[in-house]
């Protein structure tokens, strides 16, 4: 019996070694992976090599790639060896339903299943496509779409509306929100919506294609709404500040004229909405698709077949995390209490004192990490 058991063990070890040798002989191919994840508890997407106390999504991904046998171990330690590139560096606590990473892998059998077997359930690889050898998911991306899910009491007027979860958004207020969000469309100087960019920095100019708030819906007795924004690229904190400023106007803390003023050279105090609720929805490769999508060798980077899987993942992992965290930690309610600290009429001098006061309350949220192209 013992010998039989030992023989079985030796055979399974030999099988594993055979599979590994076979994997090593497979040519490496450039692919993209479609990823979805719930970002709670992670310090963003991007791996911080040598900083193991801050766990990132890429730490878990690279580990699964090595364990599944589609990349050698040394490629996990030096990601340049597999030409790894993520499309967006989502930051602390931010989730994604349609993140794209490009890399070179060995195309092993049942590759998606094998990678997913080594990932926690709140990180999934939902699709894979072959791409051109020189493809880089960050550089080839023409646009990114984010969503921001928030409780609608964020839009309750500070003086004459109930501020709690019983609040329900009326049609007129939703129209006002959408009128303000539409002001962001086009190319503007967003230096006031990020840190470390001056008004004359050319990279502070960003192009927004669309921005709107959808119809409200109730989950667990709280009414929520989802804001969608599509832009060429975003800087760190930009989306959260764009939303924060609209909330400040709708609540009655700031005049509508502040949006126009924020694009000028003057420093404007723009509040930053909480990180919870921000989701990278999808990334767009329109130019690449036109050039290579129908060349007979490559597929267009569209994910219509995966739409259902994406929707199921959001319902299972992303929305419940946002709703439950909002209920337990009240991040939006606590942040709304800090709006009165901001001086929306101030110049740069008056702002410094306010920034010190509000730092403790607003900076704990972590950044949204929409800093795809930030320097």
Instruction: Output the known binding site for substrate.
Output: 146
Joined tokens for residue 333:
């309610």
Alpha helices in 183-285 (DSSP H): 238-250, 258-262
DSSP 264: S
Instruction: Measure the CA–CA gap between 191 and 211, rounded to whole angstroms.
Output: 19
Q: At a CB cut-off of 8 Å and minimum separation 6, what does 89 contact?
A: 44, 45, 46, 369, 371, 372
Please confirm, yes or no, whether 91 is among the known catalytic residues.
Answer: yes
Q: Contact, 193 vs 229, CB < 8 A?
A: no
CA angle 112, 117, 121 (to 5 degrees): 100
55: which residues sit within 8 A by CB, 6+ positions away?
Answer: 41, 42, 43
3-state secondary structure of 226: strand
- Tell me how far apart the alpha carbons of residues 334 and 314 are, in angstroms, rounded to a whole number: 25
Can you give the length of the chain in residues? 375
Other Cβ atoms within 10 Å of 175 Cβ, number: 11
Pairing status of strand 85-86 against strand 143-151:
unpaired
DSSP string, 276-304: TTEEEEEEE-HHHHHHHTTSSSS--S--G
Euclidean distance between CA atoms 302 and 289, whole angstroms: 8
From the candidates 91, 368, 371, 372, give the one annotated as an active-site residue. 91
Name the residues annotated as catalytic. 91
């Amino acid at each position: 019996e013992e010998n039989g058991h030992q023989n079985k063990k030796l055979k399974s070890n030999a099988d594993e070694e055979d599979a590994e040798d076979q994997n090593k002989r497979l040519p490496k191919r450039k692919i993209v992976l479609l990823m979805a994840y719930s970002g709670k508890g992670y310090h963003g997407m991007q791996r911080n090599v040598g900083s193991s106390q801050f766990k990132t999504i890429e730490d878990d991904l690279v580990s699964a790639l090595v364990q599944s046998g589609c990349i050698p171990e040394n490629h996990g330690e030096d990601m340049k060896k597999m030409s790894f590139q993520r499309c967006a560096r989502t930051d602390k606590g931010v989730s994604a339903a349609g993140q794209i990473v490009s890399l070179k892998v060995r195309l092993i059998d049942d590759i998606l299943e094998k990678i997913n077997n080594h990932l926690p359930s709140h990180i999934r690889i939902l699709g894979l496509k072959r791409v051109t050898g020189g493809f880089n998911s960050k550089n080839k991306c023409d646009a990114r779409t984010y969503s921001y899910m928030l409780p609608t009491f964020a839009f309750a007027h500070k003086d004459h509306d109930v501020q709690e979860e019983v609040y329900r958004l009326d049609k007129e207020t939703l129209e006002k929100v959408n009128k303000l969000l539409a002001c962001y469309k086009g190319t503007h100087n967003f230096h006031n919506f990020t840190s470390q960019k001056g008004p004359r920095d050319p990279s502070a100019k960003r192009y927004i294609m669309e921005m709107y708030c959808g119809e409200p819906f109730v989950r667990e007795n709280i009414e929520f709404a989802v804001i969608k924004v599509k832009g060429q690229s975003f800087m760190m904190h930009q989306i959260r500040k764009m939303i924060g400023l609209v909330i400040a106007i709708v609540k009655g803390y700031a005049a509508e004229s502040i949006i126009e003023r924020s694009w000028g050279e003057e420093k404007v105090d723009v509040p930053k909405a909480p990180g919870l609720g921000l989701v990278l929805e999808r990334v767009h490769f329109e130019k690449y698709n036109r050039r290579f999508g129908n060349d007979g060798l490559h597929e267009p980077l569209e994910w219509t077949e995966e739409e259902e899987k994406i929707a199921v993942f959001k319902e299972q992992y992303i929305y419940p995390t946002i709703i439950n965290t909002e209920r337990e930690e009240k991040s939006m309610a606590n942040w709304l209490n800090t709006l009165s600290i901001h001086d929306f009429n101030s110049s740069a001098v008056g702002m410094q004192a306010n920034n010190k006061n509000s730092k403790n309350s607003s900076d704990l949220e972590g950044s949204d990490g929409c800093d795809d192209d930030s320097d």
